[in-house]
Structure 1
Amino acid sequence: MFDFFTNPHNVLQLSNRVLGAGLALLLAGIYGAYLYDGHLPIVALVSLHAMTIIGPTLLKIGYVMRLLSQHRLGQCPVGAGV
């Protein structure tokens, strides 16, 4: 398990997946919780509102993973200190 995280290429691929999942959760949560006009059960509404919190959390985690893996690969983006 720890061997997976020692390879920066694996972490970069995982971060891309986490970023995609976070964006999908955020957009689905916003659409379902705020833009959809149909009637939904309370469990679905609570889940959709939770997705608007979980989505940005995954975006932040994925972005930090991406920055760390790029740093370890020597591909620091322009403007990033260190």
Structure 2
Amino acid sequence: MFDFFLQPANVLRLSSRVLLVGLAMLLTGIVGAYLLDLQLNLFALVSLHAMTIIGPTLIKIGYVMRLLSQHNLRKVRAQPAYSHKLVAN
């Protein structure tokens, strides 16, 4: 499982999914908690208010994962395939 996180391309795809899920949770929470509040029971209302907190948290986590994976992708591309430095004896 840890090998999955060692590949920057995998982390980039995962970060996109985390960003989308966080955005969906945030928008669903806002619409449900503030526009449909009179039609919902207490459990649903508390759950939707929690989504307005968890959604932005997932957006932040996904964004940091995206930044790290893009940084690691650039670092992998910048490494030369071979080294041609001469070693003095």
**TM-score normalised according to structure 2 size:** 0.81
What pairs with 1:32-47 in structure 2 (closer than 5 Å)? 32-36=32-36, 38-47=38-47
Matching of residues 1-82 of structure 1 within 5 Å: 1-36=1-36, 38-74=38-74
Q: Which runs of 5+ in 1 are unaligned?
A: 76-82
Give the stretch that moved more between structures: 66-75 or 45-54: 66-75
Greater C-alpha radius of gyration: 2
> How far, CA to CA, are the matches of 2:44 and 2:71 in structure 1?
40
Share of identical aligned residues, percent?
73
The count of aligned residue pairs is 75
Do the aligned partners of 2:37 and 2:45 also contact (CA within 8 Å) in 1? no
Q: CA deviation at 1:64?
A: 0.1
With over 3 angstroms needed to count, the CA separation of the structure-2 counterparts of 1:18 and 1:29, relative to structure 1, is same
Deviations 1:31-60 (A, max 9, x none): 000122542110000000000000000000
Task: Give the secondary structure class of the aligned counterpart of 1:39.
Answer: coil
CA distance in 2, matches of 1:52, 1:37: 14
Q: Deviations over 1:4-55 (max 9, x none)?
A: 0000000000000000000000000000001225421100000000000000
Q: 2: distance between equivalents of 1:5 and 1:24?
A: 24
